[in-house]
Structure 1
Amino acid sequence: MTGFVATAPTHEPDPITAGDWFPSIDPKDARAVMRIDGSVTKERLVECLAVAISSVEDELDAWQQQQQALGRASLKDVPSKVIAGESRLVLLYRRAVYATAQAELVERYRELDATEAGQRRADVLQSTADDHRRLARYAIRDLLGRPRATVELL
């Protein structure tokens, strides 16, 4: 066996946008950050990113409206620390989108192998999907300036 490794396609699609307020998501950057290899087609990656953008922006909708009412034309205009030359809020938004997309990709790949070994691996993948969803939730809560955990006394 020669050990072929799937590589990313040479041409990635254009950045994905959902209006002008939130930053666009570049599938090429997403593939690199999320460590997604060429076994995930660009069409599947774009679909997962688009659904993730929709999901994250739905959760941020009321907050976005508040910020726009304060005259902020985009997420970049909301006052925030700058980390590595970029707004902390933009970094958190991108992390929420990436983590949501990764969770969906992990869940979709679970369907591919229904053998006993595949089911054991699927259990591991499910915890990984849950981890990605937790990271997305943390990023959204951090962006909103809310605590990460909700605790109720019974």
Structure 2
Amino acid sequence: MSGFVATAPASPAQPLSSGGWYPDIDPTEARAVMRLDGTVTNDRLVECLSNAMSSVEDELDEWQQQQRALGRERLADVPSKAINGVSRLVMLYKRAVVAYAQAELLEKYRELDTTGRGDRRADAMNETAEDYRRNVRYAVRDILGRPRATVELI
């Protein structure tokens, strides 16, 4: 029996927009950053990216309202350093969205193979999903200008 698995190349999906304040998320770019092949369908990727956008934007909602009150029409208008001509805040937003989507995809695909070797691989994937969720927290905290860790003395 052959170990080859056929995966269809993913056809390009339309960029995802959430009203214009935040930058669009291009599923093709996200797929490249996430190193996904055709195993993950565009429908599943778009669903995960949409969920990610919603969750990240919920966390930033109060901050966004403050920025809009200051007359900033979009995230790219908020003063920030630029790296390679792109606002650092835009980069952080995209990082948070992609990391959230990647964690969700890893959790969904964990269910596909949970026997023997697959169970050990699933445990490793869970650690990776937690790493991606940590990256989401870091990116959101960086956008908000808050420390990444909260430490209290007991």
Output the TM-score relative to the length of structure 1.
Answer: 0.95
Name the counterpart of 1:133.
133
Distance 1:151 1:7, change over 3 A: farther
1:80-124 deviations in whole A, cap 9, x for unaligned?
001011000000000000000000000000100121222111110
- SS of alignment partner, residue 38 of structure 1: coil
Moved more, 99-108 or 109-118: 109-118
Amino acid at match of 1:77: D
Distance 1:2 1:110, change over 3 A: closer
Amino acid at match of 1:136: V
Kindly, what percent of the aligned residue pairs are identical? 63
User: Which stretches in structure 2 are left out of the alignment for 5+ residues?
Assistant: none
Q: Does 1:65 align with 2:65?
A: yes
Once the 2 structures are TM-superposed, how far is the Cα of residue 2 of structure 1 from its aligned partner? 8.2
Name the counterpart of 1:99.
99
Name the counterpart of 1:147.
147
CA RMSD after TM alignment: 1.4
Aligned residue pairs total: 153
Counterpart CA distance in 2 for 1:148 and 1:40 is 31
Amino acid at match of 1:125: M
1:118-144 deviations in whole A, cap 9, x for unaligned?
211111000000000001110111111
1:1-154 map, 5 Å: 1=2, 3=4, 6=7, 8-9=9-10, 11-154=11-154
Counterpart CA distance in 1 for 2:43 and 2:3 is 28
Once the 2 structures are TM-superposed, how far is the Cα of residue 8 of structure 1 from its aligned partner? 3.4
- SS of alignment partner, residue 114 of structure 1: coil
Counterpart CA distance in 1 for 2:8 and 2:139 is 29
Distance 1:8 1:149, change over 3 A: farther
Counterpart CA distance in 2 for 1:2 and 1:128 is 25
The 4+ residue runs of structure 1 with deviation greater than 2 A are: 1-8
Counterpart CA distance in 2 for 1:44 and 1:71 is 36
Amino acid at match of 1:87: S
Counterpart CA distance in 2 for 1:29 and 1:5 is 22
Distance 1:15 1:115, change over 3 A: same
Once the 2 structures are TM-superposed, how far is the Cα of residue 152 of structure 1 from its aligned partner? 1.0
User: Which stretches in structure 1 are left out of the alignment for 5+ residues?
Assistant: none
